[in-house]
Structure 1
Amino acid sequence: MKSNEELRFKRTYELLSRFVSTDEIILDLGTPNELSSFLKTEDYKIESAFGFDFDLEPEKLNEYDYGVLTAFEVLEHLVSPFPLLKNTKATKLIVTVPLKLWFAKAYRNTNDPYDQHYHEFESWQLDMLLDKAGWKILHREKWIAPTGFLGIRPLLRKITPRFYAIYAERK
């Protein structure tokens, strides 16, 4: 069975390639990672935004040259993603976030203040946030996150959507 990471990677790439051409310039929120490296091998023009606090300085995103903004499991780490989403100069947006699960607490890493989830969204909450920030959702899907472990929680993860993915354009 493929790992959860491999499945998310594949689904994220399929979503991006469906809505974004290799001619467009992408700004990805967060540090360079395996997905952004892979996208470069597929001829995507992608740059990673990092090195500053998106909550405190969202306007810094507009110092980059881009038309597409991607946030692959980043928004849940922000106290308030609204200013960033409202003021970005992007005309296209692809977002993935973890969904709030009734049987698991929000992710928290007590050793790293940045590696924690301030939000775990219900799908309607992300929809409302994007609408209020001036985005029209054109596609949405939910993904499960199966594990290879035995037990009640792993069983629930095989049938309960864990990730929410959206493609949106400026209204």
Structure 2
Amino acid sequence: MYEKTFPNKRFKITLEFLEKHLEKSETILDLGVENPFSSIMKENGYSVKNTAGEDLDFDQSGLKKEEYTAVTAFEIFEHLLNPFTVLQNIKSDKVFISIPMRLWFSPAYRSKTDSWDRHYHEFEDWQLDWLLEKTGFKIVDSLKFTHPTNKIGFRPILRYFTNRYYLVYAVRQ
């Protein structure tokens, strides 16, 4: 079903990680508007509701309205100025988060055409770990993986060997 190409490799790894830790009977609040991966979660039997597209830096009310057993935030925290406040306002005791990791050979992503599509944070793994710890979560499982590209050059070669994504399952202590 999924190839080993972007974003399919990332989707396959993320779905396998989610299936390892979350029962299909549990409900998910997926941070961000409906997206290709929230559709994949639904196609695979999960009950998923997305936030409405509100700016979570300013408005966390959607996190408090819904009933859910887990929160997913796949490639969301790097777009937020204040992921700390978002984590504080999550009602669930389970979170699944993935982030693109900061790479020493590549600057943070910044779209030239979209003011929302930029990375304010490209975390190192220890920074996300610390953020979770500081907001009362304990990491149960984590996984790092690469993001190869089909381009030619020095940086594309490094992407075959350098972990790009960090995926975490954490529970509130």
TM band (smaller chain): over 0.9
TM-score (norm 1): 0.97
Give the corresponding residue for 2:120.
118
Listed one character per residue, the Cα deviations across residues 9-45 of structure 1 (whole Å, up to 9, x for unaligned) are 0001001111111110100011111211121122100
Alignment pair present for 1:43 and 2:45: yes
Q: Which amino acid aligns with 1:79?
A: L
TM-score (norm 2): 0.96
Unaligned runs of 5+ in 2: none
Q: Which moved more, 1:89-98 or 1:42-51?
A: 42-51
Alignment pair present for 1:164 and 2:166: yes
Give the corresponding residue for 2:54.
52
Unaligned runs of 5+ in 1: none
Superposed CA RMSD in Å reads 1.0
> Which 4+ residue blocks in structure 1 deviate beyond 3 angstroms?
none
What SS is found at the alignment partner of 1:3? coil
Q: Pick one of 10, 13, 17 that aligns with 2:12.
A: 10
Q: How does 1:99-138 map to 2 (within 5 A)?
A: 99-138=101-140
Q: Which amino acid aligns with 1:81?
A: P
Contact 2:51 2:62 (8 Å CA) reproduced: no
Q: Give distance in 1, aligned partners of 2:40 and 2:126.
A: 31
Q: Which moved more, 1:38-47 or 1:20-29?
A: 38-47
Alignment pair present for 1:73 and 2:97: no
Give the corresponding residue for 1:90.
92
Give the corresponding residue for 1:34.
36
Alignment pair present for 1:62 and 2:56: no
Q: Offset at 1:59?
A: 3.2
Listed one character per residue, the Cα deviations across residues 61-98 of structure 1 (whole Å, up to 9, x for unaligned) are 11111110000000000001001101210110000000
Identity %: 44
Q: Offset at 1:154?
A: 0.4
Contact 1:146 1:157 (8 Å CA) reproduced: yes
Q: Which moved more, 1:107-116 or 1:74-83?
A: 107-116
Contact 1:94 1:165 (8 Å CA) reproduced: yes
